[in-house]
């Protein structure tokens, strides 16, 4: 009985416990699950709401950005600040116009100064902005010491002299256009000053140009070469005798075929360089002087204004020329009542500091009051070599002159040696030479020695 009682009690207890164990956890867990589901659903809605708010805000910002962009496109940008240099250039550009000059009553074009120390000819230039007007200025001085050892047998004494061999001031440029040029040169020495050159020249083409005024006659090359660029301090005795120097005239010239050929066709008054010595400017016998010349430069343009090769030519340069003049002058003096003709041929070569120049002259004069003619000839050859390129040069020359082939014992000869030092090419240099001159005579030759030192500066 007792065992049954225990069994019944135990069974009842187990039933009660099972009922509690089943019922209690189920109610509690269900309540907790419902609460978790309720919380999770609220957070998701909140996050979705936040996301929606942010999307709407970003959309509004995008609309505002697009509106700003549209407005910026309709508004012009603010101008950049103008600098003083820009204002200066604007004023200069306007002042150079014709309108500005007319409004300000200025007749001169806008001019710009240009300092050209390395130019071979000029030192200072002024030019208009368009380049139609230019004014170039320069000058040069040659200071010389000369000692002459003269032949006492002919009653001549030795001399020592210091003087200004040449003092030149020159102006050149173009006017109205780049094709019309002008040149004026003033010449002075120890005693006087005069106008050396004044002419105008027109250069429309390389093949065809024109010059009118008072200038060098395009006859012999050594005379046309500038006295500032001679190998020795003066020209040869043959050149001095036959050259036609300067005169009033008109010259048509050109350099076709890229400078391989050069020609001159000119007419001159023929009255000589210094009419003051004759007391008149008139051409006494009304005979004009005519000049024809042609030159061939096989290797291209040749600078025959310079007798040296101070530029140290890397390639061979050469020139061959010939010229003839009708009704020539003699030692720059008018030959009155005389018909005549003179001719010259020349050869020049330059290469790596070597310069070689040669000229041969002929002249025939037919005086109207004489049945015979007077024939003359002469030549010179000279060579220079730069021992130190562009600095130290040695030079030598031989020249011969026969003023009258029918007269014996009148031939003149010149022997010369020189040393030149170039500080700045021809712009600043010192030259020294020793020359021996011989003039034949019937009984005795007349001789003279000369020693010279000269400094030249071009400014």
- Please report, for the chain, how many H helices and E strands are present, in that order: 5, 18
Count Cβ neighbours within 10 Å for each residue of 268-282 and write b for 16 or more, e otherwise: bbbbbbebeeeeeee
List, for residues 198-233, the tens digit of each pLDDT value: 999 999 999 999 999 999 999 999 999 999 999 999
For all residues of the chain together, what is the average pLDDT?
83
Do both 432 and 320 map to the same domain? yes
Locate 233 and state its tokens.
Answer: 């301090």
Last residue of a domain, one of 48, 72, 96: 72
Average pLDDT over residues 147-168: 85
Do both 152 and 241 map to the same domain? yes
Query: What CATH number is given to the structural domain containing 241?
Result: 2.40.160.10
pLDDT value, residue 398: 98
Least Cα distance to 228 among 115, 358, 138, 109 occurs for 138
Q: Which region among 34-48, 301-315, 437-451 has the lowest average model confidence (pLDDT)?
A: 34-48
List, for residues 428-449, the tens digit of each pLDDT value: 999 999 999 998 877 778 899 9
State yes or no: pLDDT of 388 exceeds 60. yes
Do both 56 and 154 map to the same domain? no
Do both 274 and 418 map to the same domain? yes
Do both 46 and 149 map to the same domain? no
Tell me if residue 422 falls in helix, strand or coil: strand
pLDDT band of 24, cuts 50, 70, 90: very low
pLDDT value, residue 383: 98
Q: Which region among 116-125, 348-357, 400-409, 437-446 has the lowest average model confidence (pLDDT)?
A: 116-125
Do both 153 and 67 map to the same domain? no
Q: Where are the beta strands (DSSP E) in 151-245?
A: 159-174, 180-188, 193-202, 209-216
Domain count, the chain: 2
Instruction: Note whether residue 418 is domain-resident.
Output: yes
Average pLDDT over residues 412-430: 96
Burial of 363 (0-12, 13-18, 19+ CB in 10 A): buried
Last residue of a domain, one of 47, 72, 97: 72
pLDDT value, residue 231: 96
Residue, of 248 and 279, whose pLDDT is higher: 248
List, for residues 98-144, the tens digit of each pLDDT value: 666 555 544 555 566 665 555 566 778 888 878 888 899 999 999 99
pLDDT value, residue 61: 83
Do both 22 and 150 map to the same domain? no
Supply φ then ψ for residue 61, to 5 degrees: -65, -40
List, for residues 57-112, the tens digit of each pLDDT value: 888 888 888 888 887 777 666 666 778 787 777 877 776 676 665 555 445 555 66
Least Cα distance to 351 among 389, 397, 322 occurs for 389
Instruction: Note whether residue 98 is domain-resident.
Output: no
Instruction: Note whether residue 425 is domain-resident.
Output: yes
pLDDT band of 15, cuts 50, 70, 90: very low
Do both 147 and 62 map to the same domain? no
Locate 278 and state its tokens.
Answer: 């004759």
Q: Which region among 100-104, 281-285, 310-314 has the lowest average model confidence (pLDDT)?
A: 100-104
Tell me the DSSP string of 39-106.
Answer: HHHHHHHHHHHHHHHHHHHHHHHHHHHHHHHHHHHHSPPPPPPPPHHHHHHHHHHHHTSHHHHHHTT-
Q: What percentage of the chain exceeds 90 in pLDDT?
A: 51
- Strand partners for 12: none
H/E stretch holding 224 reads helix 221-224
Instruction: Note whether residue 254 is domain-resident.
Output: yes
Domain housing 256 = 142-159+208-458
State yes or no: pLDDT of 276 exceeds 90. no
Burial of 67 (0-12, 13-18, 19+ CB in 10 A): exposed
Question: Cα separations (Å) of 262 from 201, 257, 291, 332, 397?
Answer: 16, 9, 14, 25, 27
Least Cα distance to 106 among 117, 115, 98 occurs for 98
pLDDT value, residue 117: 58
Least Cα distance to 282 among 272, 292, 291 occurs for 272
Supply φ then ψ for residue 56, to 5 degrees: -65, -40
Locate 232 and state its tokens.
Answer: 């020795």
What is the spatial distance between Cα 15 and Cα 65, in angstroms, rounded to a whole number?
Answer: 75
Q: Are 360 and 377 in contact (CB under 8 A)?
A: yes
Do both 250 and 393 map to the same domain? yes
Q: Are 344 and 323 in contact (CB under 8 A)?
A: yes
What is the spatial distance between Cα 34 and Cα 44, in angstroms, rounded to a whole number?
Answer: 16
Do both 378 and 247 map to the same domain? yes
Mean pLDDT comparison of 35-49, 59-73, 273-287, highest-scoring range = 59-73
Instruction: Note whether residue 105 is domain-resident.
Output: no
Do both 153 and 12 map to the same domain? no
Instruction: Note whether residue 151 is domain-resident.
Output: yes
pLDDT value, residue 30: 43
Locate 382 and state its tokens.
Answer: 């000279």
State yes or no: pLDDT of 26 exceeds 80. no
Last residue of a domain, one of 29, 52, 72: 72
pLDDT band of 401, cuts 50, 70, 90: very high
Instruction: Note whether residue 121 is domain-resident.
Output: no
State yes or no: pLDDT of 46 exceeds 70. yes
Do both 66 and 148 map to the same domain? no
What is the spatial distance between Cα 202 and Cα 132, in angstroms, rounded to a whole number?
Answer: 13
Instruction: Note whether residue 128 is domain-resident.
Output: no
H/E stretch holding 169 reads strand 159-174
Question: What radius of gyration do the chain's Cα atoms show?
Answer: 50
């Amino acid at each position: 009985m007792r065992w049954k009682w225990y069994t019944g009690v135990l069974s009842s207890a187990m039933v009660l416990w099972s009922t509690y164990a089943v019922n209690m956890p189920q109610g509690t867990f269900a309540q907790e699950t419902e609460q978790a589901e309720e919380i999770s659903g609220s957070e998701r809605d909140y996050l979705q709401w936040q996301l929606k708010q942010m999307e709407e805000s970003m959309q509004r910002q995008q609309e505002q950005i697009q509106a700003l962009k549209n407005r910026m496109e309709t508004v012009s940008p603010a101008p950049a600040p103008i600098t003083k240099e820009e204002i200066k250039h604007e004023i200069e550009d306007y002042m150079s116009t014709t309108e500005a000059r007319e409004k300000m009553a200025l007749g001169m074009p806008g001019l710009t100064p240009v300092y050209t120390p390395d130019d071979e000819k000029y030192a200072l230039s002024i030019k208009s902005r368009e380049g139609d007007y230019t004014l170039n200025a320069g000058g040069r001085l040659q200071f010389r010491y000369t000692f002459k050892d003269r032949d006492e047998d002919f009653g001549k004494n030795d001399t020592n002299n210091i003087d200004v061999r040449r003092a030149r001031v020159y102006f050149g440029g173009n006017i109205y256009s780049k094709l019309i040029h002008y040149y004026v040169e003033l010449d002075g020495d120890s005693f006087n000053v005069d106008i050396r050159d004044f002419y105008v020249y027109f250069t429309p083409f390389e093949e065809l140009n024109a010059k009118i005024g008072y200038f060098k006659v395009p006859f012999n090359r050594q005379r046309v070469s500038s006295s500032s660029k001679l190998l020795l301090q003066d020209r040869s005795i043959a050149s001095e005798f036959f050259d036609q120097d300067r005169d009033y005239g008109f010259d048509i010239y050109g350099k076709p075929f890229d400078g391989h050929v050069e020609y001159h066709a000119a007419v001159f008054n023929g009255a000589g360089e210094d009419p003051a010595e004759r007391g008149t400017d008139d051409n006494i016998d009304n005979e004009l002087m005519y000049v024809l010349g042609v030159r061939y430069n096989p290797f291209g343009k040749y600078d025959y204004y310079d007798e040296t090769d101070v530029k140290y030519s890397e390639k061979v340069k050469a020139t061959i020329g010939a010229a003839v003049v009708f009704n020539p002058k003699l030692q720059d003096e008018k030959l009155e009542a005389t018909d005549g003709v003179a001719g010259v041929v020349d050869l020049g070569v330059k290469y790596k500091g070597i310069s070689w120049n040669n000229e041969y002259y002929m002249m025939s004069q037919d005086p109207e009051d004489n049945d015979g003619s007077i024939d003359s000839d002469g030549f010179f050859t000279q060579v220079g070599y730069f021992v130190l390129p562009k600095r130290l040069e040695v030079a030598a020359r031989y020249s011969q002159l026969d003023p009258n082939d029918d007269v014996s014992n009148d031939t003149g000869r010149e022997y010369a040696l020189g040393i030149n030092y170039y500080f700045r090419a021809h712009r600043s240099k010192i030259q020294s030479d020793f020359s021996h001159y011989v003039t034949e005579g019937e009984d005795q030759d007349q001789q003279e020695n000369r020693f010279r030192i000269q400094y030249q500066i071009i400014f």
